[in-house]
């Protein structure tokens, strides 16, 4: 008698993430045509997710055990309910990191960012204002972002800065030294990822990712699509509008997406998850150890997380 071999057991679904990137909007004051993963800009919209949809996501995230949410975009502060969403997340016991270009700040935003449980992250491209402004497409953006960095440090707000190195002559190292002199303790340098504007017309590929997407982290795009991170936006795994977070993370599509991402050697050896201190560089020094956030939030545009340390 022939005994049929047992079918292999299906791989267990990845655990629900503890770090969630919320891409609130595609709108941004800047026009970073060379590297923006979201292809954001001044004419883009906020997507089909309503404010109530985002509030429901925050409720579900807290229930699932998410510890930190990153508000990102585009420029998240341009979302009409941004302050309400941060306040609600804090009320649900979530830590909040705001990934902002720091281009347009207000007293109300500074008060919000100074609250316990909130941290900031931003992008910086050069110590030369002309080079920085050429990359962002917005004259005066270097002066505004630099001034906001100084103010965040003065207020004692936890701050991370990511530098995206795009060309050989770019003053990335000089920018890192400038930030260190200003007192920024967490600075990372990364290369352009082939996603969004950085793809330069090529098809997106998992080879552009860090190898840790969907591992303790996920992203929700402005239309409610769930992806393994904001850079892995071409890997949809479901929709919070149609299914809800718990159903997405328990579903077969999420498991397939997670399994499709090649685990790169550096990512496996780093051993870091969004809240681990091992992702943190030494004060005043850049690190290349824990991608994709070398984005933010965390994978670049300049530091979007996948391996995102959280701040208490």
The answer to the question of residue 210 being in a domain is yes
Domain count within the chain: 1
Q: What is the pLDDT of residue 182?
A: 97
Low-confidence ranges of the chain (pLDDT < 70): 1-14, 34-38, 191-212, 214, 264-312
Alpha carbons 220 and 67: distance in angstroms, whole number: 15
Residue 294 is assigned to a structural domain of this protein: no
Quick check: is 53 in a domain? yes
Q: Is residue 180 part of a domain?
A: yes
Q: Is 127 contained in some domain? A: yes
Q: How far apart, in whole angstroms, are the C-alpha atoms of residue 96 and residue 90?
A: 7
Decide if 301 is inside a domain.
Answer: no
Structural domain span for residue 225: 19-260
CATH code: domain of residue 151: 3.20.20.70
**Both tokens assigned to 28:** 């941004």
Q: Residue 125 domain-assigned? A: yes
Rg (alpha carbons) of the chain, rounded to whole number: 19
User: Is 290 inside any structural domain?
Assistant: no
- What is the structure's pLDDT at 261? 74
Phi, psi of 265 (to 5 degrees): -60, -45
Q: Which residue is associated with the tokens 């990102």?
A: 72
pLDDT at position 51: 96
The DSSP code sequence of the chain is -PPPPPPPPPPPPPPPPSEEEEE--SB-S---TTT-TT--BTT----S--HHHHHHHHHHHHHHT--EEEEESS-GGGSTTHHHHHHHHHHTT-EEEEE---SS--HHHHHHHTSTTEEEEEE---SSHHHHHHHHT-TTHHHHHHHHHHHHHHTT--EEEEEEE-STT--HHHHHHHHHHHT--EEEEEEPPSSGGGGTTSPP-GGGS-S-TTSSEEEE-TTSBEESSSTTTTS---BTTTT-HHHHHHSHHHHHHHHHS---HHHHHH---TT-GGGPPPTT----SSTT-------TTTT--SS-----
- The pLDDT score that the predictor gives to residue 282 is 33
pLDDT digits (tens, 9 = 90+) for 41-62: 888 899 999 999 999 999 999 9
């Amino acid at each position: 008698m022939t005994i049929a071999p047992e079918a292999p057991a299906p791989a267990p679904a990845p655990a629900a993430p503890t770090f969630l990137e919320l891409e609130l909007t595609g709108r941004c004051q800047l026009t970073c045509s060379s590297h923006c993963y979201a292809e954001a800009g001044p004419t883009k919209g906020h997507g089909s997710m309503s404010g109530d949809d985002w509030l429901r996501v925050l409720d579900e995230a807290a229930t699932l055990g998410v510890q930190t949410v990153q508000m990102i975009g585009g420029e998240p502060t341009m979302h009409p309910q941004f302050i309400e969403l941060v306040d609600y997340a804090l009320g649900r016991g979530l830590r909040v990191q705001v990934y902002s270009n720091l281009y347009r700040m207000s007293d109300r935003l500074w008060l919000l960012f100074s609250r316990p449980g909130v941290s900031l992250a931003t992008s910086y491209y050069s110590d030369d204002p002309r080079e920085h402004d050429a990359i962002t497409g917005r004259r005066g953006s270097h002066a505004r972002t630099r001034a906001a960095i100084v103010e965040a440090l003065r207020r004692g707000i936890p701050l991370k800065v990511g530098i995206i190195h795009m060309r050989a002559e770019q003053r990335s190292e000089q920018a890192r030294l400038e930030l260190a002199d200003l007192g920024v303790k967490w600075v990372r340098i990364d290369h352009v990822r082939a996603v969004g504007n950085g793809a330069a017309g090529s098809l997106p590929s998992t080879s552009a990712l860090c190898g840790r997407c969907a591992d303790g982290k996920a992203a929700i795009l402005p239309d409610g699509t769930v992806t393994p991170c904001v850079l892995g936006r071409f890997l949809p795994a479901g929709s919070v509008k149609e299914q809800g977070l718990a159903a997405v993370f328990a579903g077969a599509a999420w498991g397939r997406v997670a399994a499709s991402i090649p685990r790169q050697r550096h990512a496996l050896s780093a051993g870091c998850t969004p809240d681990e201190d091992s992702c943190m560089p030494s004060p005043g020094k850049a690190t290349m150890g824990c991608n994709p956030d070398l984005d933010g939030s965390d994978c670049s545009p300049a530091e979007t997380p996948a391996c995102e340390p959280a701040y208490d």
